[in-house]
Structure 1
Amino acid sequence: MIAGTTGAAQVYAAEPAKAAASGVLLSGIDTQYADKSVKPQEDFYRHVNGTWMKTAQIPSDRSSAGAFMDLREAVVPRLHAIIEGLAKNKNAADSDAQKISDLYSSFMDTKNIETQGLKPLQADFAKVDSLTDKKQLPAFMAWVNRISVTAPYDIQVHQDNKDSTKYVLDIGQSGLGLPDRDYYLKDDDAKLKNIRVAYLKHIETMLSMAGDKEAVKNAAAILAFETELAKVQWTKVELRDPVKAYNKIELSKLADLMPGYDWDAYLNSLGVTGKISYLIVAQPSYLTSMNSILQATPLDTIKAYFRWHVLSSAAGQLPKQFSEESFAFFGKTLRGVPEQEIRWKRGVRLVDAGMGESLGKLYVAKYFPADSKARMEKLVANLLLAYQKSIDTLDWMSPETKKEAQAKLSTFMPKIGYPNKWKDYSALQITKGDAVANLRAIRSFAAQTELNKLGKPIDREEWGMTPQTVNAYYNPEMNEIVFPAAILQPPFFNPKADDAVNYGGIGAVIGHEISHGFDDQGSQYDGAGNLRDWWTKADHEKFAAKTAALVKQYNAFSPVPGYNVNGELTLGENIADNSGLAIAYKAYRLSLGGKPAPVIGGLTGEQRFFTGFGQVWRGKMREQEAIVRIKTDPHSPGEFRANGSLRNMTPFYESFGVKAGDKMYLPTSERVSIW
């Protein structure tokens, strides 16, 4: 519908003061953040968020601010109040409530932490120092993997990508202290090079404070070792290919991959012998090269490397000089954050990371009303219906592939709010008054929980996020879409608002996650969660042509001068933004049942829908953080997630009167329409 396309879009009438109280639905739009001096046809993102962009300040303890971060920050004091409440109660010994209270109080007991100094790490240092022969490395590496300290390779337990009825152990590249291989290898980038120089100094400072009398020499050797690992690692773009990263290797063949490496010792120490008959190796060439690097590197350097990562991984639980030095590099230098977060917030995040579901159970009881879940279920049902209808109209998908797509869509499993079955923390041992031991305990518990899955049936009730997480995800192996309770708040979801803004907000998020099942990665999995090519060759070619155009569009966006978005790295998320918006719009139209949408706040239903989409991507970040994200994050910056998606959406043009010559305009032939 083309109505009020030139004038009404810039009229943001105030919400009726008593609207919500009287039962009248609000528009759900943050009118205070709009910039009416910017036309929607020129820069829709700034039209919707411009005043906020001009006036909002990134808090001194954060690297970014915006819709996502503001919600995440709003959750923290709620969790803090829950934790503080538990501390006031008389909790049963070994109960989750007592463990949460002890975990938090141990981290907050800075006097005890200062008194203890590095004593809590002495056993770990002694284990590193006990290495006298490289033949001991496999068993040692298993210990390091189990306590989640950085090592040249890491492990993950998940469903076998080609047999989703089984859990499998996956081994992949790791070992770097900096965010990406580019930080080690890009000599022509002054900013990355400066970070590398600062990292070297940071290692030297930390080792020196820990009593290493050869800190300068060891820091240089550690950086050189990590640089060698970086040279043979796969790029983030290469890692996006699930077929290339699926390499099933029988245990008896592991010796061919890493000659001389005692895999039996590794698997025995890991505790998985007899539970598996093969591994999935994500990057075989990396492991082979890594083995050569280990053989060529002096044992003293390897020991210095592990001492460094044991120390660095526990810095937050160590005396002030260590935690502050760690923040000075990883927070201030690397990400541009001026001030370290106040300790109680860090304590809450520790509990959230270590006992998140137990904390989440208390969170949803207090902050997630049943009617929000019911309304979300309706939204999800409408989005799935819109996808179902859309599949049959796609011009790039053949009839045989459409049949498979419908079959996959019919098996999608939505999870909303919180899990039906909560995680059992009875095996987690928390020690009152020992912050380092508790850090080790929650990491070891998490690792053991994963390893315990091997040989057991798939747990389809498990969640990969806690209810208090402001995010959502699609898991191709489960073929599930998951929406935690904490994201179901304004501006994503407003139970007091008209449907238009909710479809533009959380509706587009739902559509985004569903579309991951059909993007360049998710489309390689069938409805059962198995890697299987169910597309015709012609479908692949047509889809590749559309996505190549999307790559080109996003490659042109530059959030930081000299640093462009990587259209290949962000392709999956850009496809999902494009598709999610298109399907959410169709679902919104379906929800109207043929009736016209009301005009609220001077905006038509369509205009509120697109405005709802634009406002959820409101955000800004420090330059250093933006560079880290460009190098590592598969998501584009919020500005381009908004404008980049809308420029490809013809109904947006109709709703706001976008025409040739406007900055938001793309010729019809250049618009990428996937769904």
Structure 2
Amino acid sequence: MTHPANTVIKNPTWWRRRTHLERSLLVLFVVSTVIAAALFVSLAVLNFGNHSQFPTHEELRNPEQGLVAGGGSGNAVSGRSVEDEICFDAGCIHTASMILQNLDNTTEPCDDFYQFACGQFRKKFIPDDKTGLSMFSVISDELQEQLRMIVNSPIEKTDIQPILNAKNMYKLCMNESHIEEVGAEPVKQLLKKMGGWPVIEGDSWDMGSFSWLNTVYNYRKEGFSVDYLIDFAVSTDSKNNSARVIELDQAAIAVARDYMIKGLDHPRVKAYFEYMIDIAELFGANRKVATEELRKSLDFEIALANISLPTEERRDPEKLYNRMTIEEMQIKFPTIPWFEYFRQILPPKIEFTIAEPVVVGVPTFISALENLLQQTEKRVVANYMFWRAAASTVSYLPEAFRKKQLKYITAVTGSTEREARWKECSSQAARTVSLATGSLYVQKFFKENAKKKALELVENIREEMYAIIETVDWMDEDTRKAALEKAYAMTAHIAYPDELLDNQKLIDFYAGLEVNSDGTYIDAIYNTTKWGQEYNYGRLREPVNKTDWRSHGRPQIVNAFYSPTENSIQFPAGILQGAFFSEDRPNYMNYGAIGFVIGHEITHGFDDQGRTFDKEGNLRDWWHESTKEKYIEKAKCIIEQYGNYTDSQVKMNLNGINTQGENIADNGGIKEAYRAYVKWVSKNGPEKRLPGLQNYTPQQMFWMSAATTWCSTYRDETLKNRITTGVHSPAEFRVRGPLSNMEDFSKDFNCPSGSPMNPVKKCTVW
């Protein structure tokens, strides 16, 4: 559902925020505890449907832990009353409602646990403005509403400049009539100032004055990307992470390499080409001329894709670390004036010599690019570069441009509408000053106690990673010791850094950035982009602080991260809610959900890429050769397992190589979370069950919670793209894969050996 721009979003009452099912549960409970048994029966019917389909559920209980004694309806548990064993707190009812709404009782857990846990969710209607729905998107939508409250609130005297910037950016973005009035002329004039887009300028374009290098330099001055031919970044030095270094990589092309190399034979490339022509025509080009000229530019971009390294060959960090000085670069790649190139891109305050180190990701790409540029007409290169610059402005232009963009988006994602304008504008405003909006977000919406609880979960789950490292039988002792040291050294960033609440720090950080409410939207975008480039490139001489609050100060994100160069894990406030976490529900739900995520991020430190960094976060080979070989063999099992999965919706096989890091993290993460929960129960005793789900043990609910976090449904085109280019397996395989490798899962659900969720061959790295 979308809201008109002038709608005031109010906080609904607690009761109005409950779903119909939750209200029904509450009413039934309040009526009388005397009819609690009837409530259980009705909920059980809702939950199980035809209960005869689950004849073994009674056998699945774990009487030795005192959770269930006796059979029948399950109302007599451990000889205690029903109310003693069932949790009727608001959080429990809300959680039960969520699980029940997603559950597919017609599927046996041991046949397809993802369908069992998420079958009803998969039937959800995908709104026309979305590429799919997931538990992540559900929380993101709520968070977006909260961000809107921040950036759309009236300006107050107490607002610091960064917050004024966000509010002004939101207003500029929402002022569609002014955007239409300004039109595309400012962009056209800026393109002309930077040398001109040949397809628009026609015969008046001056080929003699064109230089791709000067175009890059002009883009840098005006706030456009400098990455269209060579990707440029200032990053932490992977082999000396106390310092920063210039990094160059292959070009950031507009369409994924896997598609681009297939040319116009692929529908995505065909749609992209049509989009190029559409936008050029709106900027003033003749359509026939644009078709002819931009076809050559498309061929140039296809050539860039062909000289790029495939994703499968970019998984080894060592392979992408090729350190050389500017002087050495000049010898190796002689046609590009490297000292001048860096001088023009880096801020004037940065001093350097020809001895400055540079890390080149793919040297073969630079060499091939030199040849490609020499063999390609200047007009073709210019049309490509100016097309990319023009395309980057479309989202900020009048509706005629945005309609053509939507046409392209529809072709490649399947979504047929844009998201509501307020959503787009609140996101843009929040990105403009993400630290400042993040500060207000945690002050207004984050439950502070969640931070302490999440830290407890992190520590408990990390202990299980220690135990796994200590007990795996394929590691030599020296490598084991180093792995343990790395695990112990891993730092955790939970929710947000305390410095984020210091207004003066925010003011100092955003010094020099000002978004004026009486300006134009496109100018505001240019200014913020230039400010961002100046900040990022200007950090080259800044010492690396692995706990820098600025690097961990974006709490309004529904995600989690592992940094190999920091050897740190990060769980922003945005993910500590919803299906992932709540303080007022049983721990089996939290360990299964956010615990799975926590274990996943911890294990990233020991996946196929993370394992190549030591405890300090430096890229270094600290593995004994024999242990490394055993690790690679175990990872190969994961690669083959996932590579043999076929997504039934789009009839595509997964890429086991590209997804191996995430799959290793999923498999290790769920194991760590489960063991941590079992240990928690051994110390604290069994927990109450959920209403309507009382026939499931807490251990079974752990697995259901883990699966629920991945409930999703996507459009075909979006799913195809994720499988083709993504590093994550589709959601169902993030459940089926790890759980089918877990003996504990099969034991808890009594899955027969050889059943789909309990295959004889299992893959385990950690």
- Which TM-score bucket, shorter chain as reference? over 0.9
Structure 1 residue 247: Cα displacement? 0.6
Using structure 1 for the length normalisation, give the TM-score.
0.93
SS at match of 1:660: coil
Q: How many residues align?
A: 663
Which deviates more from structure 2 when the two are superposed, residues 150-159 or residues 528-537? 150-159
The farther-off stretch of 656-665 and 609-618 is 656-665
SS of the residue 1:512 aligns to: helix
CA offsets 1:608-634 (integer angstroms, 9 cap, x no match): 111111100100111111121112210
Q: How does 1:626-641 map to 2 (within 5 A)?
A: 626-641=719-734
Equivalent in 465, 469, 473 of residue 561 of structure 2: 473
Residue 254 of structure 1: which of 329, 350, 373 is its match?
329
8 Å contact kept, 2:740–2:756: no
The structure-2 alpha-carbon separation of the partners of 1:661 and 1:401, relative to structure 1 and needing over 3 Å to count, comes to closer
Work out whether residues 166 and 458 of structure 1, in 8 Å CA contact, stay in contact via their aligned partners in 2: yes
**1:305 corresponds to:** 384
- Taking a change above 3 Å as real, the CA distance of residues 251 and 562 of structure 1, as seen in their structure-2 partners, is same
Query: Which of 407, 410, 413 is the equivalent residue of 1:328?
Result: 407
For the residue of structure 1 that corresponds to 2:415, the secondary structure is coil
Counterparts of 1:377-388 in structure 2 under 5 Å? 377-388=455-466
Residue 427 of structure 1 is matched in structure 2 by 512
Structure 1 window deviating more from structure 2 (379-388 vs 454-463): it is 454-463
1:551 to 628, 639, 650: 639
Deviations 1:450-505 (A, max 9, x none): 11211111132232572110000000101110000010112111211111111111
Equivalent residues in 2 for 1:202-281, closer than 5 Å = 202-213=275-286, 214-271=289-346, 274-275=351-352, 277-281=356-360
C-alpha distance in structure 1 between counterparts of 2:757 and 2:714, whole Å = 23
The separation in 2 between residues aligned to 1:212 and 1:287, in whole angstroms, is 32
Cα shift at 1:651: 0.2
Q: Give 1:133 deviation, angstroms.
A: 5.2
Corresponding residue for residue 395 of structure 2: 316
For 1:649, which of 721, 729, 742 is the aligned residue? 742
> Does the CA-based 8 Å contact 1:555-1:564 persist in structure 2?
yes
Q: Which amino acid aligns with 2:682?
A: G
Larger radius of gyration: 2
Q: Give the Cα separation in 2 of the matches to 1:359 and 1:131.
A: 45
**Is 2:671 the partner of 1:671?**
no
Deviation sequence 1:258-314 (CA, Å, 0-9, x none): 222111221111125524711111111111111211121111112211221121101
Q: Which residue of 2 aligns with 1:41?
A: 110
Q: Match for 1:104 among 151, 166, 170?
A: 170
Q: Contact 1:72/1:470 (CA < 8 Å) preserved in 2?
A: yes
Deviation, 1:562, is 4.2
Indicate if the aligned counterparts of 1:597 and 1:604 stay in contact, CA closer than 8 A. Answer: no
Unpaired stretches in structure 2, ≥5 consecutive residues: 1-55, 63-72, 76-81, 197-204, 501-505
Cα distance in 1 for partners of 2:366, 2:91 equals 64
Within a 5 Å distance, the mapping from 1:560-571 to structure 2 comes to: 560-571=649-660
Measured in 2, the distance between the counterparts of 1:568 and 1:22 equals 40
Cα displacement string for residues 395-422 of structure 1 (whole angstroms, at most 9, x for unaligned residues): 1111111110111112111001112334
Instruction: Note if contact 2:455-2:494 (Cα within 8 Å) is conserved in structure 1.
Output: yes
Letter of the structure 2 residue corresponding to residue 200 of structure 1: F
| SS state at 2:571 partner | strand
- Over residues 132-162 of structure 1, what are the superposed CA-to-partner deviations in whole Å (9 max), with x where a residue is unaligned? 5588433432443553265111212221011
Alignment partner of 1:363 is 2:431: no
Q: Secondary structure at the match of 1:286?
A: helix
- In the alignment, which residue of structure 1 is the partner of 2:697? 604
Describe how 1:87-102 pairs up with structure 2 within 5 A: 87-90=154-157, 95-102=161-168
Q: Separation in 1 of the partners of 2:404 and 2:603?
A: 43
Question: In 2, Cα distance between the equivalents of 1:264 and 1:138?
Answer: 12
- Residue 635 of structure 1 aligns to a residue in which SS? coil
Q: Does 1:394 align with 2:472?
A: yes
Question: 1:513 and 2:588 equivalent?
Answer: no
**SS of equivalent to 1:19:** coil
Three-state SS of the structure 1 residue aligned to 2:152 is: helix
Q: Is the 1:29–1:608 Cα contact (8 Å) retained in structure 2?
A: no
Aligned to 1:120: 186
Q: Is the 8 A contact 2:493 2:552 kept in 1?
A: no
Residues in 1 aligned to 2:592 and 2:97: alpha-carbon distance in whole angstroms: 11
The root-mean-square deviation of aligned C-alpha atoms, in Å, is: 2.6
Please tell me whether the aligned partners of residues 131 and 413 of structure 2 are also in contact (alpha carbons under 8 angstroms): yes
Distance 1:26 1:208, change over 3 A: closer
- The 5 A counterparts of 1:181-196 are 181-186=257-262, 193-196=266-269
SS of the equivalent of 1:219 reads helix
One of 469, 472, 484 as aligned partner of 1:406 = 484
The residue type paired with residue 165 of structure 2 is K
Query: In 2, distance between residues paired with 1:21 and 1:647?
Result: 33
Taking a change above 3 Å as real, the CA distance of residues 434 and 613 of structure 1, as seen in their structure-2 partners, is: same
CA distance in 1, matches of 2:352, 2:115: 55
Moved more, 362-371 or 554-563: 554-563
Contact 1:316–1:323 (8 Å) recurs in 2: yes
Which residue number in structure 2 is paired with residue 58 of structure 1? 126
Within 2, Cα distance between the matches of 1:5 and 1:539?
44
* Deviation for aligned residue 1:338: 1.2
- Whole-Å separation in 2 of the counterparts to 1:505 and 1:137: 50
Q: Residue 593 of structure 2 aligns to a residue in which SS?
A: helix
Q: Could you say what secondary structure the match of 2:311 adopts?
A: coil
1:436 aligns with 2:529: no
Alignment partners' CA distance in 2, 1:17 and 1:57: 33
* 1:503-559 per-position Cα deviation (integer Å, ceiling 9, x unaligned): 111011011001111111000000111111111111111111111111111112222
SS at match of 2:163: helix
The alignment's TM-score, normalised by the length of structure 2, stands at: 0.82
How many angstroms apart in 2 are the aligned matches of 1:28 and 1:171?
A: 50
Give the superposition deviation at 1:25: 11
- C-alpha change, 1:108 and 1:673, in structure 2 (3 Å) is same
Going from structure 1 to structure 2, the CA distance change for 1:322 and 1:495 (only over 3 Å counts) comes to same
What's the CA shift string for 1:32-77, capped at 9, x where partnerless?
21111111011101111112212x1111101010111111111111
Matched-pair contact (CA < 8 Å) for 2:170–2:425: yes
Deviation at 1:349, TM superposition (A): 1.4
Question: Using the alignment, how far apart are the partners of 1:246 and 1:12 within structure 2?
Answer: 60
- 1:564–1:578 distance in 2 versus 1, CA, 3 Å: same
Aligned to 2:672: 583
Q: Which runs of 5+ in 1 are unaligned?
A: none
Give, in angstroms, the shift of residue 595 of structure 1.
Answer: 5.5
Q: Distance in 2 between matches of 1:532 and 1:635?
A: 25
1:343 counterpart (412, 421, 430): 421
**Counterpart residue number, 1:352:** 430
Distance 1:674 1:412, change over 3 A: same
Q: Distance in 2 between matches of 1:470 and 1:23?
A: 23
1:164 counterpart SS class: coil
What's the counterpart of residue 75 of structure 1?
143
Contact persistence 1:247–1:282 (CA under 8 A): yes
Give the secondary-structure state (helix, strand or coil) at the position aligned to 1:65. strand
Contact residue 491 and residue 616 of structure 1 kept, 8 A: yes
Alpha-carbon contact 2:316-2:609 (below 8 Å) kept: yes
2:194/2:218 contact within 8 Å kept: no
Q: 1:169 aligns with which of 242, 246, 271?
A: 246
Letter in 2 for 1:262: P
